Amino acid sequence: MMLIICRKLMSSFVALAFLLLLSFPASAQKSKQCKAQRFMFERGKSSIILRGQLEPCENRIYKFRARQRQKMSLRLYPEENDVVVYAQSTKYIPELGSNVLEGISRGGTTEWDGELPFSGEYELYITHPPVSNSTQQRTLPYKLEVKIE
């Protein structure tokens, strides 16, 4: 009788441990999601400087609203840090087959000038491109100048 109870307890423990193991990747994945910071241009101003630091294995996302056909320029400093920026619409751009704005390469950029295709929300994604034989070991400071007309 005692053996049956021990087996049932053991099988319940194994089932519980298995369920916890299955739920771990999902909860770990949620905690690594990027949190976007929203910014607005001050009334009467058409530029803003965003400053920050990228810790190892970290990215930054800034969100803002803009109108179709507005011209935007981005300048990311210092260039020697290997920090790059992507500018993207939250809407899919069919003619480009992407959300990334025209003229921005898949490797990111440190400067860009262009016209915004839609009215709505845009994202600036700042990152340090991964290199297979070298991981970022230090904090990387950046300054992003955003101008819009």
| 101-124 residue pLDDT tens | 999 988 889 999 999 999 999 999
User: pLDDT of 8-28, one tens digit each?
Assistant: 544 544 343 333 333 333 333
Q: What number of H helices and E strands is found in the chain?
A: 1, 9
Task: Output the pTM of the full model.
Answer: 0.70
Residues 36-148, CATH architecture: Sandwich (2.60)
Rounded Cα distance, 109 and 9, in Å? 58
- Rounded to a whole number of angstroms, the distance between the first and last alpha carbons of the chain is 81
Kindly list the domain boundaries of the chain, sorted by start residue: 36-148
